[in-house]
């Protein structure tokens, strides 16, 4: 008999017999398949299903394992929670065939990406992952890496409210920039795994989030709930970052229960300095300090020493809507060179890190009356831009230029390609305006860092390499004798 399973991770697990006689609905609240007690046979079956998914098999034969429907549901749930790289598979629905004895003979997964498009999608995903990993300092502590990845995903991904959009894969979250809680959680775990940080996904029938291990203790991290809505540039909440069981249990109904998690009984960070921050933190390598906000204003913090400094205190509130105020700052931070730019409701300020000085550099004329306020601050090309609107709930802002950088780095090279010819790799890319040379990098996956291997004035180069690496290029310009580097181009693997 051919049976289809609608297996909505963290929504409802619905089992429907495709006959006119029987239809059975199973609530995931009362039945979440256990994945911590799988037998060796079930684990072997999982390997077979994973390989079949990688091979794009329409029907995967599992008859040799002689498993019933409950055992297969355990296996499929296990695969959905551990096969994060199976971004091309629709884990929400699959079909199976059973024998009269009740033994499941085969499963038929659904696919989200056509087989012909898989290689291209995989390169896009790896490029997105490398863009995050290459920004991590190898000397950072686990908690610093956790904060950086948390804020990166929260500020680069938008929650998907469209019911027709899957949103449950790392590809959705990291490449398309739109996901639901499953996609956020899978993406966070995928990156933390790449960085060597112990991280798991925990879930109930309504929601999924993460737990990470730090210094012998486990903590909850929920990037989905820390992604502000509306979604503004360079903003991230931190209410659900590094918190204990008691803190998350007291937060809301969606976190009242979960499956397969660790015990998080350490409350050290439940009321940490970041817990009232609405801004994504930025890191300055010269001072080894993190800069962000809290309920008072703009702060700096050292994870090494624990030193905390309030750099600027706000004296105005942001509008939540036409009746209420937001009692904590809605300020965005942008790091450029040795300067951190941040906004108040009506003005933009510059904090010179080297001189430890702050000055107002611009006032938005339409914001002086308080009707409009600044909710976004970001760099677009060589311009510092702000976004303003009537209140926080609007979401759509009007863009206004704050200043033009004279020392802005060139744009990253576009259309980088890599071709393998024997033991040689040929790279080519488009010219970047104002670039005088290009720095070529390869990714050291073992240490999660980019290594510069050559510099050239051309828009192509040939490298001797028999091994396969991911490569990227930075454009370099010169201003007053100072070299200015662009961000990385996309990362590519030779074909």
**pLDDT tens, 334-359?**
998 889 999 998 899 999 998 899 99
Q: What was the pLDDT predicted at 337?
A: 81
User: What's the DSSP call for residue 144?
Assistant: H
Average pLDDT estimate for 415-431 = 92
Confidence of residue 165 (pLDDT cuts 50, 70, 90): confident
pLDDT at 9 > cutoff 60: no
User: What's the DSSP call for residue 260?
Assistant: S
Chain Cα centroid distance, residue 303: 22
CA–CA dist 311, 361 (Å, integer): 17
Under 8 Å between Cβ of 444 and 451: yes
Under 8 Å between Cβ of 237 and 278: yes
With CA atoms as reference, report the closest residue to 293 among 238, 230, 229, 243.
Answer: 238
pLDDT at 424 > cutoff 50: yes
Under 8 Å between Cβ of 389 and 378: no
CA–CA dist 473, 454 (Å, integer): 10
Average pLDDT estimate for 484-495 = 87
Query: Which pTM does this prediction carry?
Result: 0.80
Tens digit of each residue's pLDDT (9 = 90 or more) over 276-317: 898 999 999 889 999 998 888 999 999 999 998 999 999 888
With CA atoms as reference, report the closest residue to 362 among 320, 392, 400.
Answer: 400
Q: What was the pLDDT predicted at 408?
A: 67
With residue 174 as reference, give the H or E element that holds it.
helix 170-174
Write down the H helix ranges in 203-333: 245-249
Q: What was the pLDDT predicted at 368?
A: 65
With CA atoms as reference, report the closest residue to 296 among 251, 341, 336, 344.
Answer: 344
Instruction: Classify each residue of 179-209 as buried b or exposed e, where b means 16 or more C-beta atoms within 10 Å of its C-beta.
Output: bbbbbbbbbbbbbbebbebebbbbbbbbbbb
Under 8 Å between Cβ of 470 and 493: yes
Q: Which residues, 6 or more positions from 183, have their beta carbon under 8 angstroms from its beta carbon?
A: 157, 160, 167, 168, 169, 170, 172, 173
Average pLDDT estimate for 454-477 = 89
Kindly give the interhelix angle for 142-156 and 181-194, rounded to the nearest 10 degrees.
140
CATH architecture for segment(s) 114-271:
Roll (3.10)
pLDDT at 1 > cutoff 60: no
Q: Cα separations (Å) of 104 from 33, 58, 97, 354?
A: 16, 16, 6, 67
Tens digit of each residue's pLDDT (9 = 90 or more) over 168-198: 999 999 999 999 999 999 999 999 999 999 9
Domain ranges across the chain: 2-112, 114-271, 283-292+313-405, 417-485
Tens digit of each residue's pLDDT (9 = 90 or more) over 43-71: 999 999 999 999 999 999 999 999 999 89
Percent of the chain scored above 90 by pLDDT? 52
Tens digit of each residue's pLDDT (9 = 90 or more) over 231-247: 778 889 999 999 999 99
Torsion of CA 115, 119, 120, 122, to 10 degrees: 110
Confidence of residue 370 (pLDDT cuts 50, 70, 90): low
Q: State phi, psi for 82 to the nearest 5 degrees.
A: -110, -20
Q: Cα separations (Å) of 445 from 91, 174, 417, 467, 485?
A: 28, 18, 20, 13, 22
Under 8 Å between Cβ of 249 and 255: yes
With CA atoms as reference, report the closest residue to 429 among 439, 442, 444, 443.
Answer: 439
Q: Assign 231 to helix, strand or coil.
A: coil
| Residue-averaged pLDDT of the chain | 85
CA atoms within 13 A on the CB side of 204: 11
Q: State phi, psi for 307 to the nearest 5 degrees.
A: -75, 135
Q: What was the pLDDT predicted at 35?
A: 66
> 10 Å Cβ neighbour count for 227?
23
Q: State the fold for domain 417-485.
A: Immunoglobulin-like (2.60.40)
pLDDT at 451 > cutoff 90: no
pLDDT at 483 > cutoff 90: no
Tens digit of each residue's pLDDT (9 = 90 or more) over 13-41: 323 222 222 222 222 222 355 666 789 99
């Amino acid at each position: 008999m051919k049976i289809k399973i609608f297996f909505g991770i963290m929504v409802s697990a619905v089992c429907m017999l495709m006959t006119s006689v029987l239809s059975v609905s199973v609530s995931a609240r009362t039945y979440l398949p256990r994945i911590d007690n799988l037998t060796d046979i079930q684990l072997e079956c999982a390997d077979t299903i994973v390989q079949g998914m990688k091979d794009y098999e329409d029907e995967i034969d599992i008859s040799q394992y002689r498993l019933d429907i409950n055992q297969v549901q355990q296996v499929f749930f296990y695969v959905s929670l551990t096969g994060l790289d199976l971004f091309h598979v629709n884990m929400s629905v699959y079909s199976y065939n059973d024998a009269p004895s009740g033994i499941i003979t085969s499963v038929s997964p659904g696919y989200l990406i056509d087989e012909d498009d898989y290689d291209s999608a995989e390169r896009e995903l790896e490029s997105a992952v490398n863009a995050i990993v290459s920004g991590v300092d190898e000397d950072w502590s686990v908690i610093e890496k956790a904060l950086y990845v948390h804020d990166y995903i929260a500020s680069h991904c938008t929650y998907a409210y469209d019911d027709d959009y899957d949103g449950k894969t790392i590809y959705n979250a990291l490449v398309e920039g739109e996901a639901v809680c499953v996609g956020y959680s899978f993406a966070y775990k995928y990156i933390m795994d790449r960085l060597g940080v112990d991280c798991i996904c925990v879930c109930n029938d309504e929601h999924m989030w993460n737990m990470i291990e730090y210094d012998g203790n486990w903590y909850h991290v929920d990037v989905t709930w820390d992604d502000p809505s509306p979604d503004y540039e360079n903003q991230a909440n931190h209410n659900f970052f590094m918190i204990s069981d008691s803190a998350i249990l007291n937060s809301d109904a969606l976190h009242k229960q979960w499956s397969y998690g660790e015990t998080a009984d350490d409350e050290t960070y439940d009321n940490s300095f970041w817990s009232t921050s609405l801004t994504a933190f930025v890191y300055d390598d010269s001072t080894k300090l993190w800069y962000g906000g809290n309920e008072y204003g703009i702060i700096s913090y050292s994870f090494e020493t624990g030193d905390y400094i309030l750099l600027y205190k706000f004296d105005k509130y942001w509008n939540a809507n036409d009746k209420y105020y937001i009692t904590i700052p809605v300020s965005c931070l942008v790091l450029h060179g040795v300067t951190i730019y941040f906004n108040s409701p009506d003005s933009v300020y510059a904090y010179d890190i080297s001189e430890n000085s702050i000055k107002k550099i611009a006032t938005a004329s339409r914001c002086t009356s308080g009707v409009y306020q600044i909710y976004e601050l970001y760099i677009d090309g060589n311009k510092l831009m702000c976004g303003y609107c009537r209140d926080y709930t609007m979401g759509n802002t009007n863009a206004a230029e704050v200043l033009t950088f004279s020392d802005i780095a060139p744009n990253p090279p576009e259309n980088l390609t890599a071709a393998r010819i024997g033991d040689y790799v040929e790279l080519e890319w488009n010219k970047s305006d104002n670039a005088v040379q290009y720095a070529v990098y390869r990714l050291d996956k073992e240490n999660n860092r980019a290594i510069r291997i050559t510099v050239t004035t051309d828009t192509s180069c040939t490298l001797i390499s028999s091994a396969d690496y991911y490569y990227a290029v930075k454009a370099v310009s010169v201003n007053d004798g100072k070299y200015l580097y662009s961000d990385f181009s996309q990362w590519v693997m030779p074909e």
